[in-house]
Amino acid sequence: MMTAREAAETPTTTPHLCYYSPRIPGNTGSAIRLCAVTGTILHLVEPLGFNLRDTKLRRAGLDYHDMAHVVLHPNFEDLVESMPNSRIIAFTAHATKLYTEVEYKPTDILLFGPEPGNIPDPMDIMAGPHVAEQVRLPMRPSLRSLNLTNCASIAIYEAWRQLGFDGGQ
């Protein structure tokens, strides 16, 4: 685990990735793996819908857990306060702007809300005053959603592509 202060002070070549109140351990494990291979810092905002020692989380992350930088925040305000120089870009199906229409910076935070489940859509988080942009991934209109970490992967790789895949090979 990395502290919020360390995350704010660590130079990065990709934007940060944030999961607000993730509910599915396998998705978060896959995000850990994504962040390890891209050099992205992963922020998890509590409450989580699982224990960080969950076997499904460990299995999805394979042996990448020690290679990823993960920050656990007790609430969303802690994330915002710890990253004061970051622009928050919220990914939501309600946005009109496409994710490809943003010029990404390494200091950005790409924010994803919780998977569908027993908690309400956090519109105060996804559309709050701290959000600089709301963007969406295009989908066919008859379908509900794409897997959370698939969405995050598309977003991280687009941002990293725009930044010249710095640090990659």
Q: Please check whether residue 167 lies inside any domain of the structure.
A: no
Q: What is the pLDDT of residue 159?
A: 98
Q: Please check whether residue 54 lies inside any domain of the structure.
A: yes
Q: Please check whether residue 99 lies inside any domain of the structure.
A: yes
From residue 82, give the alpha-carbon distance in Å to each of 9, 72, 79. 10, 12, 5
d(C-alpha 166, C-alpha 13), whole Å: 6
> Which pLDDT tens digit goes with each residue over 65-95?
678 999 999 999 999 999 999 999 999 888 9
Domain that holds residue 122: 15-162
Q: Please check whether residue 109 lies inside any domain of the structure.
A: yes
Instruction: Spell out a b/e string for 8-42, using b for 16 or more CB atoms within 10 Å of the CB, else e.
Output: beeebbbbbbbbbbbbbbbbbbbbbbbbbebbbbb
Ligand-binding site membership of 137 (annotated): yes
Please state, as a whole number, how many other Cβ atoms lie within 10 Å of the Cβ of residue 106.
Answer: 18
> Which pLDDT tens digit goes with each residue over 96-131?
999 999 999 999 999 998 876 555 567 788 888 999
| CATH code for the domain of 64 | 3.40.1280.10
**Quick one: CA dihedral 113, 105, 3, 57, positive or negative?**
positive
> Which pLDDT tens digit goes with each residue over 23-66?
988 899 999 999 999 999 999 999 998 887 768 766 665 576 67
pTM: 0.93
Ligand-binding site membership of 113 (annotated): yes
What does the mean pLDDT of the chain come to?
A: 90
> Which pLDDT tens digit goes with each residue over 141-158?
887 778 999 999 999 999
Whether the CB-CB separation of 52 and 74 falls below 8 Å is answered with no
Number of structural domains, the chain? 1
Q: What is the pLDDT of residue 60?
A: 61
Please state, as a whole number, how many other Cβ atoms lie within 10 Å of the Cβ of residue 136.
Answer: 16
Q: Please check whether residue 112 lies inside any domain of the structure.
A: yes
Ligand-binding site membership of 145 (annotated): yes
Q: Please check whether residue 168 lies inside any domain of the structure.
A: no
Q: What is the pLDDT of residue 33?
A: 92
